[in-house]
Amino acid sequence: EAQVTQNPRYLITVTGKKLTVTCSQNMNHEYMSWYRQDPGLGLRQIYYSMNVEVTDKGDVPEGYKVSRKEKRNFPLILESPSPNQTSLYFCASSPIPPRTGSNSPLHFGNGTRLTVT
């Protein structure tokens, strides 16, 4: 089954304790992205990657890191989490031109609810 898998689904941690949220897709997609979803703010992009070893900042990258060493994986790293990073996080992927054109929708994972105390 084609899917984007995030782990863990729920995570409670303390300020300053490094954590990693994993994201894996089995569709051979080039494009992957991380979003955070907060009430009243909708979806905000954190980082994205157009292909292996190619990453770039989104709208709210501060406090986050990513890596793209393999095409299927795109982990989100919080080196020193703070309470303002408490949020619902989504990973998404899609193919990109020229293989399929730029009109492909995003495929989303089921989310990771992070609480930082």
Contact status: 47 vs other proteins (CB under 8 A): no
Backbone angles phi, psi at 109, to 5 degrees: -75, 175
The whole-angstrom separation of Cα 84 and Cα 96 is 32
The answer to whether the CB of 39 falls within 8 A of the CB of 63 is no
Q: How far is the CB of 23 from other proteins (least distance, A)?
A: 11
Q: Which residue among 2, 83, 97, 100 contacts other proteins (CB under 8 A)?
A: 97
71 binds other proteins (CB under 8 A): no
Does 98 sit near other proteins (CB under 8 A)?
A: no
Task: Count CB neighbours of 20 within 10 A.
Answer: 13
Q: Contact residues for other proteins (CB under 8 A)?
A: 4, 31, 33, 40-43, 45, 48, 50, 58, 90, 92, 96-97, 102-103, 105-111
